[in-house]
Amino acid sequence: MIQGDNQQERLKQDLHWLGGIIDGEGMITAMTRSDSKTPTYIPRISISNSDTTIIEECRKILVTLGVAHYIQKKEYTILGKRGRPKERIKYEILINGYKRNHKALPILLPYIRSKHRRAELLLDLVRSRLSAPHRSPYTAHEIHLVKRIRLFNKNGTEGTGSILRD
């Protein structure tokens, strides 16, 4: 019994940690794929970081939760001191698609703070699309949800925009 309680407590701590990582290093959005006449929206939660320890810890938690995802390695160049190019690598964990986000969002939502509203809106979009007939056109409400998520991402805030001080 104590072992189970410890595992539950550890999972809860991991979820709090992952929520913070998503808030700080993640993105919650609906990507556009426009390889057809009408755009298609793809729900996405992503976490980008160059620290393999952070990426591996996120991966372990997602595996424990049974949340399907994949990891992309991206190589890029920055200008270092004296304008010399430096090679960099970053990793991105991607949770793409309606079914994957339908599983992930209800679990993660209570632990996401600064991007909480985006996560709620994305979950509303996911639930709406999964309840609609396959390949049905997007409703005005669904398009509105996508626009609101993108507006939050563009503005970088979900609050009033004012900074509170003690």
In a domain, 51, yes or no: yes
Number of domains in the chain: 1
Q: Residue 42 is part of a domain; what is its CATH number?
A: 3.10.28.10
Among 3-7, 37-41, 56-60, 79-83, the range with the most confident prediction by mean pLDDT is: 56-60
Give a yes or no: residue 80 inside a domain: yes
Query: What pLDDT digit, counting tens, does each position of 138-152 carry?
Result: 999 999 999 999 999
The whole-number pLDDT of residue 163 equals: 43
Rg (CA), the chain: 18
Range of the domain at 20: 2-155
Reduced to 3 states (helix: H, G, I; strand: E, B; else coil), residue 138 is coil
Which residues, 6+ apart, have CB-to-CB distance to 72 below 8 Å?
91, 92, 94
- Is residue 161, in this structure, part of any structural domain at all? no
Q: Is a pLDDT exceeding 50 seen at residue 18?
A: yes
pTM: 0.86
pLDDT of res. 71: 98
